[in-house]
Amino acid sequence: MLIERADVIVTSPGRNFVTLKITTDDGVVGYGDGTLNGRELAVAAYLTDHVVPLLAGRDAHAIEDTWQYLYRGAYWRRGPVTMAAIAAVDTALWDIKAKVAGLPLYQLLGGASRERCLVYGHASGKDIPELFDSIRKHLDEGFRAIRIQTGVPGLDSVYGVASSAAASVGGAGSDSRYDYEPARRSALPAEETWDTRAYLRHVPSVFEAVRGEFGEDIALLHDAHHRLTPIQAAKLGKSLEPYDLFWLEDVTPAENQEALRWVRHHTTTPLAIGEVFNSVWDYQHLIREQLIDYVRSPVTHAGGITSVRRIMDYAAMYQVKSGMHGPTDVSPVGLAAAVHLGLALHNFGIQEYMVHSEQTREVFGPTYEFAGGGLRPGEEPGLGIHVDEELAAQYPYERAYLPVNRLRDGTVHDW
């Protein structure tokens, strides 16, 4: 079975997505997600100009060989654009292989290790009453694990806090900015102001209030979004220990793996990192030295199923679990791949689940299902994705940027 053609689909049903469609010579079609929020067209061009011309005539079943061919063969390894493009090819080939086998993809990855993948949703509010409403809504919808982000007194807008009605499992609206999604369709990125001391003062009181109101049972998570120095991160981890977090995410910027050693030595709050990592090499020291508890790499940004499986097998030796990134900028194709892989992985931990807008779901037709606080892939052969290409064509790409962060004195800071 040979690859006959590959087509890049760029569509924007509420937000931008890049999807690769691979078709074999006997007409089997597979899909892969290559969406890179705010830099989507770089991946689309990488695929169209450099990868698609290499695919025609290759053995559609030779997934590992194609992965190595694109990774080693490019000479210029790694990086988010390259690895998102490789992810799109890899995922599409797994989709094809599973369709040919007549099995849902998770069966080829070893079969189900559990009934469903525990997920966490995003509760947020500019203040405590708004946050509590959002938590209640998530609990009503069946979530058992919830990420908590709030406004900080004195700051106008803070990462992770919804500015419009929050998306819900029942049906996210078609708001131009849904839930906390911060990439805005505008000529220039929005600029936000950040104050680490104000944040560090405020966050522990939020978790105290949440535990006081909702008790000890719900799994609570928090994302510091790369903004702290090692010692600030250590302080935050320590101050949150009484509230028993499931994890504290991205406490320091990703480039410096040494930073996590400092944080780890000061706190027993579990640490998650890696949504901006893109290969097993980014985790080499963090996993071997047991400096983290959860791997955040999603299939979409880290080279596909083949590559994330590699990371997770390495992580398993050190009792490190998966916690794949799943904001709305991972498309339903990427989320479907994550749920198939997560269902099969022995060291699955949790899956992030931000509900896509109704328009997005109409374009991609995912068959995974949310129930009992978890996601389970559909039982049909392959990934369980049905792209409506005519509908996709009705939503042309619109440039969008993630915000830029500045300290109060104007210095650019990590966003």
12-51 footprint of ligand KDG as x/- string (CB under 6 A)? -------------------------x--------------
Q: Between residues 33 and 275, which has the closer beta carbon with respect to Mg ion?
A: 275
Residue 356 interacts with which of Mg ion, ligand KDG, none, CB < 5 to 8 Å by class? none
Catalytic residue among 46, 159, 180, 353: 159
Residue 179 interacts with which of Mg ion, ligand KDG, none, CB < 5 to 8 Å by class? none
CB-based closest residue to ligand KDG: 37
Q: Measure the N-to-C terminal CA separation of the chain; round to a whole number of Å.
A: 45
Q: How far apart are CA 5 and CA 252, in angstroms?
A: 42
Q: How far apart are CA 328 and CA 400, in angstroms?
A: 14
Closest separation in Å from C-beta 142 to ligand KDG = 20
Q: Between residues 61 and 185, which has the closer beta carbon with respect to ligand KDG?
A: 185
209-248 footprint of ligand KDG as x/- string (CB under 6 A)? --------------x-x-----------------------
Catalytic residue among 122, 138, 222, 225: 225
Tell me the β-bridge partners of 9.
19
Q: How far apart are CA 415 and CA 405, in angstroms?
A: 5
Residue 97 interacts with which of ligand KDG, Mg ion, none, CB < 5 to 8 Å by class? none
Q: Which structure tokens are listed for 325? A: 């990134």
Q: Between residues 11 and 37, which has the closer beta carbon with respect to ligand KDG?
A: 37
Catalytic residue check, 225: yes
Q: Between residues 37 and 307, which has the closer beta carbon with respect to ligand KDG?
A: 37
Q: How many residues does the chain have?
A: 415
Q: Which of residues 346-365 bind ligand KDG (CB under 6 A)?
A: 352
Alpha carbon of residue 330 to chain centroid = 6
**Which strand ranges, in their side-by-side order, compose the sheet holding 17-24?**
3-11, 17-24, 29-33
Q: Which structure tokens are listed for 348? A: 């699955």
Phi, psi of 285 (to 5 degrees): -80, -40
Residue 37 interacts with which of ligand KDG, Mg ion, none, CB < 5 to 8 Å by class? ligand KDG
Tell me the β-bridge partners of 135.
none
Q: Residue 179 interacts with ligand KDG (CB under 6 A)?
A: no
Closest separation in Å from C-beta 329 to ligand KDG = 4
* Binding span for ligand KDG by CB under 6 A among 212-220, 287-295, 322-330, 338-346: 322-330
Helical segments of 113-153, H only: 128-141
Helical segments of 215-258, H only: 230-240
16 class by beta-carbon count within 10 Å (0-12 exposed, 13-18 middle, 19+ buried): buried
Q: Between residues 37 and 150, which has the closer beta carbon with respect to ligand KDG?
A: 37
Q: Which of residues 376-395 bind Mg ion (CB under 5 A)?
A: none
Among 33, 90, 293, 329, binds ligand KDG (CB under 6 A): 329
Angle between helix 196-214 and helix 230-240 axes, rounded to 10 deg: 20
Closest separation in Å from C-beta 328 to Mg ion = 13
* C-alpha closest to that of 97 among 68, 61, 134: 61
Buried b (16+ CB within 10 A) or exposed e, 18-41: bbbbbbbeeebbbbbbbbbbbbbe
Q: Residue 223 interacts with Mg ion (CB under 5 A)?
A: yes
Name residues whose C-beta falls within 8 Å of residue 255's C-beta, 6 or more positions apart in sequence.
Answer: none
Q: Which of residues 247-286 bind ligand KDG (CB under 6 A)?
A: 275
Residue 327 interacts with which of Mg ion, ligand KDG, none, CB < 5 to 8 Å by class? ligand KDG
DSSP string, 143-195: -SEEEEEE--TT-S--TT--SSSPP-TT-B---SS-TT---B-SSS--EEEE-
380-409 footprint of ligand KDG as x/- string (CB under 6 A)? ----------------------x-------
Q: Residue 90 interacts with Mg ion (CB under 5 A)?
A: no
Q: How far apart are CA 320 and CA 313, in angstroms?
A: 10
CB 10 within 8 A of CB 397: yes
Residue 352 interacts with which of Mg ion, ligand KDG, none, CB < 5 to 8 Å by class? ligand KDG
Query: Strand 29-33 and strand 191-194: pairing?
Result: unpaired
Closest separation in Å from C-beta 366 to Mg ion = 22
Tell me the β-bridge partners of 19.
9, 33
Catalytic residue check, 120: no
* Site residues for ligand KDG per CB under 6 A: 37, 223, 225, 275, 325, 327, 329, 352, 402
* Site residues for Mg ion per CB under 5 A: 223, 275
The residues that are catalytic are 159, 225
